[in-house]
Structure 1
């Protein structure tokens, strides 16, 4: 899936309209030599259907004026095979970027890793259930051999591990809320991103006896074959890591990433978000968008989800007075700078 470099390498347009797969493949840029990986043979394509796309994004509503900086940074990440570090206020649509890219480029189901404070890199790579394997061995009269106990049945690749399988087209991986992570995780991620793969010690130890093991993946019902205990990508995944601007990361990690700040959406962008979820825009939507924008200046500004909640309530019954919807917005967006006092 590589095409010669040149003026046509910008495959992502930021319009929201899905691209034809043949055009995508013809324009897909070749990687730099230092970011080309030799994983293979190819895995089957990623699941094409992703229910989260419709739920999170609604229907595709083309953007008349895509954000040029977003388009440039995403295309640079695709060309250089580098992860994206996306910052911005919580609720501003940072995570949505991964789903918008996946839909526009038809890259299939987004793999999502919601990071917690206790996660190490292994949580994203794979999980091994040794107790389950012991129980399986006991059920086979204690014979712990390859015929009696299938190691792969007790090993599941995580979202990061699944994204690093040798797919012909890259997977989209969303590493959500990286700012919640342990201090060591960013550096651990950098090592995996540098290598384009990782080893599974449990499979490496068994490689002489079992050179190929079929394991579970992070896709529903997904299976993949791991050879020699090592997973290595063919096309480096598009990694979107979200965080707030308050988190300080190691300089070495930041040098490995491309950074994009999600700016606060304007009126046209907000109305397009509303139209994506409400084909028949409620009459009160414009007023709610204006009220939403008025509240963006405070520390407890409402989120896009809260705006959609307000529009959904407005669409559930007959249109009321503007003052009614303003009062409703204050209830939904309680805690904002114009909220009613207790």
Structure 2
């Protein structure tokens, strides 16, 4: 297997090497990077390129590692026993398989995405060490061991909200997705909008990278937000013309709500524009 860019996803050489290395080593691929740089989309495109199924486990602050294995619904079993429901004596009827169980028992090699692992408790990654290492886990209620029929390709994403344990990191192949440079961004835009006017791409990227370089910006616009902005500009001719005729010292570009996401950054851009106008007098 050799992962490559697809018709809908632009992968850098470093990212391709990381994916292929993780597959060869049979290690989870830990992907970090700014929000909106395509970490989750990578797993989707990897599964599509392999023609296999993607199993996604979205992690929340309340998610426990055991939920990825299975959950035992003791409450339902107690209720059914009181109502005389058939099959209550079989505990297996009250086990709810988790995403790891689903990936391990799949009839084909699947891609398992553990999305935003850093949202969970600090112990969450360590609680999955053995299961991801040995590709098996024990079901205490039935005494069986669930083993992977086909070792899944595991992709783990993190937004760097908290540090991950060293023991967990040692078992992963790590890659940080750098923010795309202008040439790469042009390729990404071309993938999403193959017939877009070169002038619009040039003007939009000029504004986009100026925004990202603004000093003190709380939230820099991401790749996914640029795509949304371009989609809006393509649908609104008036805003598109406003972009072409924009005064360089004006603060906010047209339809800026797709790029600037809080009032602090809006105020900052307005102050920077005011200072630029004063210097130009």
Pair in the same fold by TM > 0.5: yes
Could you tell me how far apart the structure 2 residues matched to 1:306 and 1:256 are? 33
Equivalent pairs counted in the alignment come to 256
Whether the aligned pair in 2 keeps the contact of 1:127 and 1:155 (CA below 8 Å) is yes
CA distance in 2, matches of 1:13, 1:194: 23
Contact map agreement 2:9 2:191 (CA 8 A) in 1: no
Q: TM-score by structure 2 length?
A: 0.79
> Aligned to 1:340, what secondary structure does the other structure show?
helix
Equivalent residue, structure 2, for 1:31: none
Q: What are the equivalent positions in structure 2 for 1:221-300 lying under 5 Å apart?
A: 229-245=144-160, 247-281=162-196, 284-297=200-213, 298-300=217-219
Describe the superposition over 1:186-216 as per-residue Cα deviations: whole angstroms up to 9, x where unpaired.
1111111122111222222xxxxxxxxxxxx
Which of 221, 224, 228 matches 1:309? 228
Query: Could you list the per-position Cα deviations for residues 35-75 of structure 1 after superposition, in whole angstroms to 9, with x for gaps in the alignment?
Result: xxxxxxxxxxxxxxxxxxxxxxxxx2475xx5222122211
SS in 1 for 2:79: helix
Pairs within 5 Å for 1:1-342: 11-16=1-6, 60-61=7-8, 63=10, 66-108=11-53, 110-140=54-84, 144-146=88-90, 151-165=91-105, 167-169=107-109, 171-204=110-143, 229-245=144-160, 247-281=162-196, 284-297=200-213, 298-318=217-237, 319-323=240-244, 327-334=253-260, 335=262, 336=265, 339-340=269-270
Q: 1:202 to 1:178 in 2, by over 3 A?
A: same
**Partner-residue secondary structure (3-state), 1:187:** helix
> In 2, Cα distance between the equivalents of 1:245 and 1:131?
37
Structure richer in helix, relative to its length: 2
> How high is the TM-score relative to the length of structure 1?
0.66
